[in-house]
A and B are shown apart, each in its own frame.
Chain A
Amino acid sequence: DAKTTQPPSMDCAEGRAANLPCNHSTISGNEYVYWYRQIHSQGPQYIIHGLKNNETNEMASLIITEDRKSSTLILPHATLRDTAVYYCIVRPYNNAGNMLTFGGGTRLMVKP
């Protein structure tokens, strides 16, 4: 799987948008970008994924650059409960059994 690079930590004010960047410059054509988050002492939670088009769901938006070498996860109105480690992962879609390879992630701290 392609390697991803994320800043180790970020702060965000409560109620403001949190923009979490991810670099995946070696991504190949058959790899999707997935985002998960892990709140302290819990299992990871799926947020969103995409291939090349921007995606939005009830949790977040995913913006993928045209060359697909980077992406940004946007939490439009961050709350204190969004404090977590956010993982950006790329994974090929050709096998539903593929495991996820976690990097260091970004520790997002939402502050009052």
Chain B
Amino acid sequence: GAVVSQHPSRVICKSGTSVKIECRSLDFQATTMFWYRQFPKQSLMLMATSNEGSKATYEQGVEKDKFLINHASLTLSTLTVTSAHPEDSSFYICSARDSAGGRNTEAFFGQGTRLTVV
């Protein structure tokens, strides 16, 4: 099946620094990718929709200047957590769907990135 690769799988950073997370679709093209965040014992919450070649669409309550999204190619989207704080510590997950797969193709998820801000 289609594979979505997310990197890094785990990162620890100091408070105030920025962290970049990459999401790649390995064997298909995705004009749209999605970024989710998951806190312990909670479900996935959509943060933003990443659109290739245009600005991302953010969900209500998600700061676009703090969570920078770049979708420069059909196979790569990046999420940069800027000026990270301990409350940003979470499990970040990306998702992509094959643009050429038709209306009802399933979404594939990356393996997630565990961010710990100390």
Contacts and interface: CB of A to CB of B under 8 A. Distances in A.
A96 B99 contact: yes
Contact of B44 (A46, A49, A93, A102): A102
B106 A102 contact: no
Contacts of B43: 87, 102-105
Interface residues of B, number: 30
Interface in B82-118: 91, 93, 95, 97, 99, 101-112, 114
Interface stretch (A20-28, A36-44, A62-70, A76-84): A36-44
B31 A97 contact: yes
Nearest to B44: A102
Given A44-B44, A103-B43, A32 B104 contact: yes
A43 B104 contact: no
Nearest to B107: A100
A33 to B, nearest CB: 12
Contacts, number: 61
B77 interface: no
A84 B43 CA distance: 13
Contacts of B95: 43-44, 99-100
Interface string A34-61: 1010100111111001000000000000
B34 A49 contact: no
B32 interface: yes
Contact of B93 (A44, A93, A103): A44
Interface centre among A46, A101, A104 (most CB of B within 10 A): A46
B91 to A, nearest CB: 7
Interface of A: 32, 34, 36, 38, 41-46, 49, 87, 93-97, 99-105
